């Protein structure tokens, strides 16, 4: 049977079986026939890119790099589908945006390297140069910031808040939170333990007067 010809992908289409095999096998012969983008990372690649295999349901195809760029995707740092190198600051912005959305999920230096198509060493060096902190430190700061928000406006148990921001160990969560905010989660929450309505305020004021009297 004659092998089916690639006719070029229409913008924003999903891969068929042959195109998917080309992506999974990093088939260099398909370079220039289509480009694939991964919706969860916002990055697009050549079929030959040796980055981590994406989930098929997250992949969309384009027949030209201009279409991928117009769709809001950015070129892969590893395979350089546009033939140009992505600026470091833009690459790091992609990573911080991803972390800001997925901070509650397990995130490691290796998983970021897999997602953003670079070696762990190179990724960490560039990230720290641009952000002034390592990727892991940025993840932890993001989790601590979200935890502070939850502590200030909810009555959820501290251990539950830790788990919600991606830290299942309560002792480690307390230690991390204190290193970022300078106090324990419980002490931070007490800053917001104020009467919430006029009746409570009046009641608290009356009690204060009784004690003084």
Q: Tell me which residues are annotated as active site.
A: 45
In this structure, the number of other CB atoms found within 10 A of the CB of residue 165 comes to 21
The secondary structure of 73-120 as a DSSP string is -EE-TTT-TTSSPPPHHHHHHHHHHHHHHHTTS---HHHHHHHHTS-H
Q: How far apart are CA 115 and CA 91, in angstroms?
A: 12
Given a contact cutoff of 8 angstroms between Cβ atoms, the answer to whether 109 and 139 are in contact is no
Partners of 43 in the beta sheet? 38, 74
Whether 139 contacts 115, CB under 8 Å = no
DSSP at 13:
B
DSSP-derived letter for residue 55 is P
């Amino acid at each position: 049977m004659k092998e089916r010809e690639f006719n070029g992908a229409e913008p924003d289409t999903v891969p068929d079986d042959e195109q998917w095999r080309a992506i999974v096998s990093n088939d260099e012969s398909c370079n220039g026939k289509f480009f694939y983008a991964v919706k969860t990372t916002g990055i697009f690649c050549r079929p030959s890119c040796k980055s981590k295999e994406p989930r098929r349901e997250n992949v969309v195809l384009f027949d030209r790099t201009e279409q991928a760029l117009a769709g809001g995707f950015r070129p892969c740092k590893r395979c350089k589908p546009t033939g140009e190198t992505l600026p470091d600051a833009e690459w790091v912005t992609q990573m911080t945006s991803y972390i800001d959305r997925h901070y509650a999920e397990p995130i490691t230096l290796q998983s970021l390297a897999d997602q953003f198509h670079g070696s762990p060493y190179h990724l960490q060096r560039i990230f720290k140069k641009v952000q002034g902190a390592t990727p892991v430190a940025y993840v932890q700061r993001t989790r601590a910031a979200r935890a502070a928000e939850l502590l200030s406006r909810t009555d959820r148990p501290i251990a539950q808040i830790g788990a919600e921001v991606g830290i299942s160990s309560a002792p480690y969560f307390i230690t991390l939170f204190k290193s970022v905010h300078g106090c324990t989660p419980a002490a931070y929450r007490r800053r917001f333990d104020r009467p919430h309505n006029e009746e409570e305020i009046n009641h608290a004021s009356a009690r204060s007067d009784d004690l003084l009297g």
